[in-house]
Structure 1
Amino acid sequence: MSRDRIHFLFLNVGHFLDHLFMLIFATVAALKLRHDWNMSYAELIPYATPGFIAFGLFSLPAGWLADKWSREGMMAVFFLGIGAASVGTALASTPLEIAFWLFLVGAFGAIYHPVGIAMVIRDGAQNGMRLAVNGVWGNLGVGSAALVTGFLIDHVGWRSAFALPGLVSVALGLAYVAFLRSEPAHERTARKAAPGGGGAAVENLGNRSLFYVSAVIFFTTMVGSLIFQSTTFALPKIFEERLGSLGTSATTVGTYAFLVFALASMAQLVVGYLVDRHAVRTVFAGLAVLQIVFFLLMPGLIGVPALIVALAFMLAVFGQIPLNDFLIGRLSKSEFRARALAARFVVAFTAIGLAVPILSWIHANWGFDRLFHVMAIGAALILAAVVTLPRFAPRTHVQPAPAE
């Protein structure tokens, strides 16, 4: 296997771990701590808010450091830091201690998206499929959080759900550092000397059009992130309430959540293929329509119908994830890309941080049916925004790019 492929594998595994760590607490709170600590689900989940806010706010300094210092160095900090913070979470004995350690998990987790995604995107290449493959790994991390956490809760204990993945991440961080140090000196010199060019603004957009497209990207990022976080964070609890006899333990609930997330993540491969060949506006709008339809179908469903419709709306939610990154890859030059992505992820993860208390408030007062109605409204707002985008021509060829 070439060094480029090994490096891409490290980036993909990093995306997997990033999403896994950010959602471990969702399953622990829903299935275990509410019994052990005698607190309701609505009372527990706000303690995850500091972590999700840090996940957004620290994206900008992470992107700046990556562009100014080293993208590879920041990825090493990511693996080591988020792993150590997760091990610390396993040692927490009060809600405030958990909030503190989750804040650190979020702060180190913030590194991945502006840095790792910037390394995935290649100038002059058909990036749709690269982003799609990387996105599948991230979504498998989302699904594995429920599966792995549920299994460890039932067989070892909730603390192991934080400690074991944390130790794995630290080990991977050490392996990544060793991989970087093994790079031949002439390859390292050539890579650092390579120009960052390429990636000029698509279709030579004027300042006004560029500003408008950027505004659409940030708006759809904000609303889409609220939808993504609400659905992924709440799905284990939704399944506990709605699956009835299908979900009789933490392991079975986690298994169903993993299967839905894993199958839904495959939508990104289809979307990656489509955006390399068709207008991103058309693909974006189609996914928004599917979200509206399936969110409106979900209220009142239980058992197998609830499972099927949940899979359907998660297909549309996950399929939409790489589209804004794809647009930024088309609009930004390599030397500024980490900062451009960081700005998007500040918006995304700030919205994600807000989604948790909003979810808590809606669930405590009206239940999940009202949440599905709110999500349908959000998808309609995304649809209204993306239909106004210009029609970007797909790239029909791939130019070779040096390894990051």
Structure 2
Amino acid sequence: MSQVIRPNPPRTVIHFINAAHVIDHMFMLIFPAAVLGMTQAFAMDYAQLIGLSLGGFIAFGACSLPAGWLGDRWSRRHMMLLFFFGIGAASIITGLSTSTSMLAVGMTLVGVFAAIYHPVGTAMLVAYAQNRGREIGVNGMWGNLGVAFSALLTGFLVAQFGWRSAFILPGCASILIGLMFALKVKDEPIPARAHTKPESQSGQRISMVMVFSVLAIATAAGGVVFNATTMTYPKLFQDRLHDLFASPQTLGLIVSLAYAFGAVAQLTIGRFLDRFSLKWPFVILTVCQAPFLFALAYVDSWPVMLLGAGFMFVVFGQVTVNDAMVANFVAPQWQSRVFALRYFLSFGASATAIPLIAYVEPHQGLAGLYVILAGFAALTFAAALAFPRTPAENPEIQPA
């Protein structure tokens, strides 16, 4: 008598995908937070040390293409196992570094394995989700909390146990979660889901060239802004709030709260994406970015916290909208590859933030950097204006 193989429970899969999103963003931003406590150990200043992460961010973008292809053609479950184990081991290697060369290699390996999550994990999430907009928002919230945890947890571990613990302990946790994923989630075909080509509100077929051109511009420009701000927030807050908060733990908490405010955006925006045209949240979220960045270039003290939290709200909200574009416009069997292309553009462009920071910060400070980023944000807003107005995917859905 043959045994009936039960499919994976969707909620179980989604819980692990959300955990992976936390790990992905947290591990990529451990180094920018820990570097403030590593300058003496390696006898290098901030700008020199931060440049060592360039290989990791290049790999974060470049490796997303083969990761997406393997996710669609081989196995999304196996690729996620490789993610959990690989990024955990790479983080441990980074924490054991005794030279700048080993540190650079460790950070590059973190980027290689971190590249797996977005094309594979996001496609896996969309395949198992019932309400895609809501689940993308919830998943984005967890990714944002990973960004927040990177500053909070890293600040605590560096202060209490030294900078090495900030890499080694999270690495061990990732491997443990990978073992649980291996036991709970089995390999199975991509769940079938009907897909129809979207039309505009007037009933005309939407130009996919226009859609993906807008997405490409927003992804590339937004990638530079996102990476440069998340990497420099610890230093921005340290420089502007030094009279108010001196300890690394307190500064880490303040930075984490600013990042966590973006989680509110992703959860809120995600609950409404299926009920409205994607164009309007896209426009509203991007029109605010350049003014926030320009203000952050010059303000000091308490306003930095308020503006910093506000900017995180709009920039993380935009990420949720852009993921929903791929979910709504691309057939399921192609989603890993298209998500891979989106994140290849995003993280490939975001890698330019590293040399940009290393060059601009010593010469013009963070004020000069944030003025430049405001220009990139204005380009993202222009792309949002060109995005076609589409009907809501599920206008009858009520927010949960």
TM-score interval for Structure 1 and Structure 2 normalised by the shorter chain: over 0.9
Q: Deviations over 1:26-57 (max 9, x none)?
A: 0111x211122221111111100000100111
The counterpart of 1:192, out of the listed 179, 184, 189, is 189
**Which residue is 1:225 aligned to?**
223
Mean alpha-carbon deviation: is it higher for 248-257 or for 119-128? 119-128
Deviation at 1:125, TM superposition (A): 5.0
Structure 1 residues 123 and 164, CA, compared in 2 at 3 Å: closer, same or farther? closer
Contact 2:206 2:388 survives alignment (8 Å): no
Q: Distance in 2 between matches of 1:146 and 1:374?
A: 24
- CA displacement, residues 192-228 of structure 1 (integer Å, 9 cap, x when unaligned): 3854x52333118999811121111011000001111
Map 1:240-279 → 2, pairs under 5 A = 240-279=238-277
Give 1:304 shift. Answer: 0.8
Between the aligned partners of 2:191 and 2:239, the Cα distance in structure 1 is: 54
C-alpha spacing 1:290/1:339, structure 2 compared with 1 (3 Å): same
1:158 alignment partner, SS class: coil
Q: Which residue of 2 aligns with 1:336?
A: 334
Q: What is the 5 A alignment of 1:252-401? A: 252-396=250-394
Shift of 1:3: 2.8
CA distance in 2 between partners of 1:112 and 1:343 (Å): 13
Closer, same or farther: CA 158–263 of 1 in aligned 2, 3 Å: same
Q: CA 1:124 to 1:300, structure 2 compared with 1: closer, same or farther past 3 Å?
A: closer
Alignment partner, residue 85 of structure 2: 80
Question: Any idea what SS the aligned residue of 1:300 has?
Answer: coil
The Cα of 1:158 is off from its aligned counterpart by: 0.4
Structure 2: distance between partners of 1:396 and 1:12:
23
Q: What are the superposed Cα offsets for residues 68-97 of structure 1, whole Å, 9 maximum, x if unpaired? A: 111111111100110011011111011111
Distance in 2 between the 1:112 and 1:122 partners? 15
Deviations 1:118-145 (A, max 9, x none): 0111489542211110001001000111
Matched residue of 1:244: which SS?
A: coil
C-alpha separation in 2, matches of 1:202 and 1:243? 48
Tell me the distance in 2 between the aligned counterparts of 1:298 and 1:320: 19
| 1:61 matched residue in structure 2 | 66
Question: For structure 2, which runs of at least 5 residues remain unmatched after alignment?
Answer: 1-7
Distance 2:136 2:244 in 1: 34
- Output the TM-score relative to the length of structure 2: 0.93
Instruction: Tell me which of 147, 152, 158 is aligned to 1:142.
Output: 147
Does residue 1:157 correspond to 2:154, yes or no?
no
Alpha carbons 1:126, 1:398 under 8 Å: kept:
no
Q: CA 1:193/1:130 → structure 2, altered by over 3 Å: closer, same or farther? A: closer
Following superposition, the deviation at residue 229 of structure 1 comes to: 0.4
Cα 1:123–1:218 change in 2 (3 A) is farther
1:276 match: secondary structure: helix
Q: Is the 8 A contact 1:123 1:334 kept in 2?
A: no
The match for 1:184 is none
1:177 aligns with 2:174: no
So what's the TM-score if we normalise by structure 1?
A: 0.92
Q: 1:103 aligns with which of 108, 114, 135?
A: 108
Shifted more, 16-25 versus 273-282: the winner is 273-282
Give the paired residue count.
Answer: 388
SS at match of 2:103: helix
CA distance in 1 between counterparts of 2:63 and 2:84 reads: 15
| Alpha-carbon distance in 2 for matches of 1:15, 1:258 | 16
**RMSD after superposition:** 2.0
8 Å CA contact 1:239, 1:247 repeated in 2: no
Structure-2 separation of matches of 1:221 and 1:302: 30
1:396 Cα deviation after fit? 2.1
In the alignment, structure 1 segments of 5+ residues that lack a partner are 182-187, 400-404
Separation in 1 of the partners of 2:323 and 2:137?
Answer: 10
Superposed displacement of residue 385, structure 1:
1.3
CA displacement 1:348-377 (0-9 Å, x = unmatched): 111121111111211111011112211221
Contact 1:124 1:198 (8 Å CA) reproduced: no
Distance 1:193 1:62, change over 3 A: closer
Per the TM alignment, residue 397 of structure 1 is displaced from its structure 2 partner at its CA by 5.9
Amino acid at match of 1:214: F
Task: Give the stretch that moved more between structures: 249-258 or 270-279.
Answer: 270-279
The alignment partner of 2:386 has SS state of: coil
